[in-house]
């Protein structure tokens, strides 16, 4: 088991996501990998592979900068691209984050 744990840990967060998805399919072997990748992405297996890549990038960014900094940057950029403050506030209110973080994001968007 130690060897399996080391291999999955080497993949990082995408490996964990793939492992959990594989376990939820109820299949084994190559069928489990195929089904898990197809379940992860909007375009079948290729979408699943792309999704795992995005998860890896996002996990890396979160570990370097933190959720607050990344979300602030995302909402600042969306505001610069022309999204209305009202629509961004509505979207922020729907996030599954703390009320303190929601308040901070609303302030960032309103500046």
Average pLDDT value over all residues in the chain: 89
Q: Which residue is associated with the tokens 């900094």?
A: 69
Query: In this model, does residue 69 exceed pLDDT 90?
Result: yes
Q: Which residue is associated with the tokens 């403050």?
A: 85
24, two tokens: 């939820």
77-95: buried (b, 16+ CB within 10 Å) or exposed (e) per residue?
eebeeeeeeeebeeebeee
- pLDDT band for position 85 (50/70/90)? very high
4-40 tens-digit pLDDT: 788 777 777 788 888 888 888 888 888 888 888 888 8
Query: In this model, does residue 42 exceed pLDDT 80?
Result: yes
Greater model confidence, 3 or 82: 82
Query: In this model, does residue 60 exceed pLDDT 80?
Result: yes
104, two tokens: 């901070």
Summarize the confidence of residues 72-81 as an average pLDDT: 94
* Helix/strand/coil percent split, the chain, to 5: 85, 0, 15
What gap in Å lies between CA 60 and CA 90, rounded to an integer? Answer: 28
Determine the pLDDT at residue 40.
87
What gap in Å lies between CA 67 and CA 11, rounded to an integer? Answer: 21
Burial group, residue 13, by CB count within 10 angstroms (0-12, 13-18, 19+):
middle
Determine the pLDDT at residue 76.
94
């Amino acid at each position: 088991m130690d060897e399996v744990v080391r291999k999955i840990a080497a993949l990082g967060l995408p490996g964990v996501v793939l492992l959990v998805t594989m376990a939820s399919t109820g299949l084994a072997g190559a069928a489990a990998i195929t089904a898990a990748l197809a379940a992860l992405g909007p375009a079948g297996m290729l979408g699943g592979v792309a999704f795992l890549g995005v998860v890896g990038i996002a996990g890396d960014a979160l570990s370097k900068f933190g959720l607050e900094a990344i979300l602030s940057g995302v909402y600042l950029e969306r505001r610069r691209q022309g999204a209305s403050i009202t629509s961004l506030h509505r979207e922020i209110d729907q996030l599954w984050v703390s009320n303190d973080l929601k308040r901070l994001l609303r302030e960032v968007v309103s500046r």
